[in-house]
Amino acid sequence: MSNEHDSLRAIVWNNDALQLLDQRVLPHETRYLTLRTPEEIANAIKEMVVRGAPAIGITAAFGMVLAARQAFARDKNDWKSLIKKDFQLLAASRPTAVNLFWALAKMQQLIDNLDNYDDSTLLNEAQRIHAVDITDNYRMGDLGSAFIEPNSNVLTHCNTGSLATGGYGTALGVIRSAYRAGNISQVFADETRPWMQGSRLTAWELVQDQIPVTLIVEGAAASLMREKSIRWVIVGADRITANGDVANKIGTYNLAVLAKYHGVKFMVVAPTSTIDMNLANGEMIPIEQREPVEILKFKGQSVSANGATAWNPAFDMTPASLVDVIVTERGVVENPTLEKIQTLFR
């Protein structure tokens, strides 16, 4: 895969430390933070230095490498016990993105199976998780772009690109591949309030990679679908349940309802590590509730009437009945059901 329309990497292992592109200051500043402890990594996840389910999982995997180093330095005989506190710290950083728990479980299983501390084995596994994610994104890009008709206008929500993954992206990976194939004319992106991931991050990524992007406020989506001949809404996911229900950034459910009414196709792009077969349906997904101040203020300045309160769920749940296609690295599921999702894991 060439680096055409694929120039960004937000997670970099360098000189025995993890470097994260600080997404809180984009697009006005490009700043990498250097993290050397599991506490720093957990805080970076919680404070949204890094965000996006696959990127959170990869970051947590490197966090376990640093946790093991720290524990071994404290007690060479009891390091496996000491690491449990760091595991819990990392697991508590964001509750909705299942990739976090998937990556932590992979690292913990490896640790449990080690007879002796082996730093290179742990680091190799974290780097493998990172590399596989990028490879899987290229695969999903190819599979998803096959559905996009020539001269399509598409709409995306939040950020699902190189900033949200190991690289290339899930939904933005499909958009990158479809644009490279000449099938996308214009990408429209929701601003994605209150953190503005669409305007700050998705638009920045697409501009960097010379893909045409037009921003809209969330309230413009219905008019956009009616007036601009949108063919597809393409989004990512933070968790998909066994029946195909999808938890994603708040506002995704709105788009799915609008797409159904306007005859627009709705595509979800996510690796199988995002699918939680232990949850039967979306009603069981824990939805992270963030602080009201994120809505009541913007960059420290009040944007609401004094005395007003705010409801600030970070995610919503889109029923499988509103999803036309789920694209994974193992294959594509059209009109998802429990039986179709199960086939991905056979």
**Which residues are part of the catalytic machinery?**
238
Contacts of 227 (CB under 8 A, 6+ apart): none
Beta bridge partners of 248: 316
CA distance 272 to 119: 28
CB-side exposure of 52: number of CA atoms within 13 Å? 39
CA distance 336 to 316: 18
Pairing type for strands 230-235 and 265-269 reads parallel
Contacts of 317 (CB under 8 A, 6+ apart): 245, 246, 247, 253, 282, 283, 285, 287
Pairing type for strands 297-298 and 301-302 reads antiparallel
* SS3 (DSSP) at 337: coil
CA distance 170 to 274: 11
